Structure 1
Amino acid sequence: MGGCFVLLLPIFLVGAALFFALLFALPVYAVFALIACIVLVLVARRLAADGIFSRYAEDDTWRRYAALAGKWLLWAAVAYFALSGIVALVLTVWLLS
């Protein structure tokens, strides 16, 4: 019986370590994702207000594509941080309940 316990002990220890790591890391990541989402929205609005995205809209060179890619990458990052932050928050609430 003791040999079976010795074989299963590392599995239980790793499972407990993963549970507590997630319990600590998920709320931290949820806060980080919220801050990153807010900062990225502010950056995108500031760049749009400065006319960075519209300045090169009529240009046929690489600047037009760089401005479009920058705009869409900013909004994709906002969407990623918003969705992953919501998932982290839901998992945190689920683990704590």
Structure 2
Amino acid sequence: MERIDGSSDFILWQMNMKDYLVVLDLDDALKGPMMKQHKRKYSDEMESSEDVTDTWRKMVKKCLLEIQLHVARKVQGHDAIKDATSAKHL
């Protein structure tokens, strides 16, 4: 997966990034806050709702970091990138 540097095709990069996140099983984090269907999906594997919430937070953080790591250094300083708090926001 190449880094986006501002001079390449953003739409193609975005499409490839989404596919990459599917391969890593992080794509649910792009959907925003944990919804009921996500809770059900993860509840089958977890013992408590606290475990589900922790798992969700970790996935969102990993997804955000993967996206940030695939942005070129010269673009990483942009406020929208460095201030992003979720993968969906970014």
- What's the TM-score bracket when you normalise by the shorter of the two chains? 0.3 to 0.5
For normalisation by structure 2, the TM-score amounts to 0.40
Normalization by structure 1: what TM-score?
Answer: 0.38
Larger of the two Rg values belongs to structure = 1
